[in-house]
A = this chain, B = another copy of it.
Amino acid sequence: MSPQSDPSPSANASASGKSSSKRAKDAIPDIVIGRLPIYLRTLQLLAEEGREVTSSQELGERLGISSAQIRKDLSHFGEFGKQGTGYNIPYLIRQLEKILHVDRLWPVVLVGAGSLGRAIANYQGFESRGFRIAAVFDEDPAKVGEAVGALTIEEASQIPQRVQELGAQIGIIAVPVHAAQRVADTLIQAGIRGILCYAPITLKVPEYVRVEYIDPLIHLQHMTYYLGQANGETGGA
């Protein structure tokens, strides 16, 4: 019945490797937490279609996940459904938003104003889902002062001060791989506790910092393992 949160998990997870974590015996598995945003996203899509209720079965079909898994995942946090009926969509959305702590707006600082950084800064989907890009930094002095959407690129040296002012706890790293660790260190030093890293490198961070990774090459190479064989190769499944 009561929503929970938990402490522990270690720093890594990613666009591919999820990493280990020692959790307190009663903590909710990280893998379960990882599915909640997907449930939320799907429920929001259903809500936009004007739907009021859904079932674990319908969600499961949409997601390619078993209905039992969805029920069990949600049951870690409470009893959100009604027997015979299913789940009330707006209610479940609110609950998930609370559980994931996106029932608020998190200021996020972005480092890196190359084409990827600009694409991230321009993405309109953050605000309605709990996040606002509050500042953009770049290490290249030549870019400082340029506009990116409604923001102006700031000097990387301003990171500590600005993170403070903004009360940001989350940073996005969109710089070349060779600069990524340095930027991560700066962000952490400035007080950032969660990092979304687009650079293709596993960052070294203190245990209290959570890092998530996005790397399209990891996904493409994962895919080609399977594609290869149909190509007349040895291979997997």
Contacts and interface: CB of A to CB of B under 8 A. Distances in A.
- The copy count of this chain in the complex is 2
A234 to B, nearest CB: 8
Interface string A1-36: 111111111111111111111011001101101111
Given A2-B31, A170-B227, A115 B106 contact: no
B10 A236 contact: no
Contact of A130 (B21, B214, B220): B220
A175 to B, nearest CB: 13
Interface of A: 1-21, 23-24, 27-28, 30-31, 33-38, 40-42, 45, 62-66, 98-102, 106, 108, 114-116, 118-120, 122-123, 125-126, 129-131, 169-170, 172, 177, 193-194, 196, 200-202, 204, 208, 210, 212-231, 233-237
